[in-house]
Structure 1
Amino acid sequence: MRLKDLNTFVILAILFSGYSYAQDIAATAETDTLFFDDFSGNSLDREKWNVVGTDFWVNNEQQIYVDSTATIFNVKGADAKGAENALVLKAHYSPNYITFRDNNFDFISGRINTRDKVMFTYGTAAARMKLPEGSGFWPAFWALGGGNWPETGEIDIMEYVGETDWIGVALHGPGFSGETPLVNKYFFPEGEDVTDWHVYSVDWTPEGINFKVDGRLIYRATKPMVEHYGKWSFDNPKYLILNLALGGAYPYKTNGVEKPYNGIPESTLDLIKDGKAEVYIDWVLISKQDGVN
């Protein structure tokens, strides 16, 4: 049974129960849905999402983001790779596309967020995603506070840098940003990897943050753990981000590749040229648990 065939209530029951399959669920959790998008329209819903353009660049990433149907588009049926509908973030090789901040960019890609459209404090944020194989791909699903970084906090719900057997989760804030000690890798069970569909989620409360994959708890950071390193920056509204970066700081630290591009080996360049740099998102959900203010 695909999660697309389930209603939002049952999806929430899956997330809160820790099971991966709907038939195993006793649907008892009562929740409030704050946001849900299953990308069933013909294009990205601009009432829910902002699109980042060419005036943004961080982390020595090798792409520039563009607001284009080449990089951000909805698909249906067989094109959705096992979902009924999906959003696709796609990167392209586009030599000499733009020069920005004295850097020449040969790649374009997509990045969206809910800033000032959907902001939330506490609850569950989840997305069902399918990621591409290739060293140096750097897709992420994460949340940021609405103020200055890192003072208002960052929750990395899923980061992947091209080793298909694991994803990373992390928290960043004042005193624990960048090389944060609040980080964990989740290695998939045998027979699974990032190229399969998985639900990546976080349960966020005033007492701590639980990271999950397919309902399995993979890392917990309590408020005292965080305050050992710095200020608890997770009591303010945050917005969601989905993006597909290429190369840059984190992939380079993992694969050590310098050429042909920082963090991007020749084999991944070939995948991008062949049109295989694609992230699929089946749905995105934000919910608030009863009793949490």
Structure 2
Amino acid sequence: MSLSDGREILVFAEQRRGRVHPVTIELLGKAIELSGNRDLTVSAVLLGRDVRGEAQELIYYGAKRVYLFEDPSFYNYDPFLYKANLVALANEINPYAILFGSTHIGRSLAPRVAASLQTGLTADCTNLSIDEDGAFIQIRPAFTGNILAHIKTKTSPSMSTVRYKVMQRAKRDEKREGTIVKMTPLPNDPSWEVIDERVIEGINLPDAEVVVSGGRGLKRAEDFKMLEELAKLLGGVVGSSRPLVDEGWIGKEHQVGFSGNTVKPKLYIACGISGSSQHLAGMRDSEMIVAINSDPSAPIFRYADMGIIGDIYEIIPKMIENLKRR
């Protein structure tokens, strides 16, 4: 017997340390838009410890039904335990679609769930739609961002991971009503256990309001210190194009672009970045783009709100000096 009267768009509400990840609110916003006048219910599934308050928040953000798996075993992310419970839920409610964020957890968990359900999965989507025949259409960049592929999953349920910072957030409304369905968690797999989980504190690039990124115009890895100083003065963080990450000059968590992070800061400063389609895919929606490059024909200038033609080793120190004076 299904738990739902109609088909559901099920959003995986990722949480860490008892707090729901912001990408979940974006997924709810898209699910609400997709449901429209269709016979689709927007639902969420939350696994965690002492997270009933977060489940209520999901209702305020538009979930009509929240499947709550609450147990101490869900405090740390256990891919096998999470997968087993999600698969059991999906088999019971037969959702129309399941949405995950393209986070470290989402990218790890979604393929496991899809494989167990023997259904397809489209990764790193930038948009979703439903066609006139009711088919779920998943849109993502292909061929390094040069085209947008429209993918239709023939198996059920349709499954997608969606990039953070590409969808509109759902609006919070405490007048919204919904149902929290208390679920009975499956037991741990006795053959193994999570002994410890350590969170490495790092930068939160997608949420930064100012990003100062370096590209091939940098001559040495040590020159990122110059960008770090500028970013610190502006209250921002340092980003990078992929080639410098591949060279090992800076960690992958700093990478902006098609295969890295998508950012939408208030200010994005591109230092010595030519503006390949791969990089542009991750930052072109920034509110203000400032490009510094010695090549006046660099593609980045076509997307910049302000372009400075010149040597970054002359311009950036002057910017730092002026900011320190102010």
Q: Which has the higher helix share?
A: 2
Q: Which has the higher strand share?
A: 1
TM-score past 0.5 threshold: no
TM-score, normalisation: structure 1: 0.26
* Greater Rg over alpha carbons, structure: 2
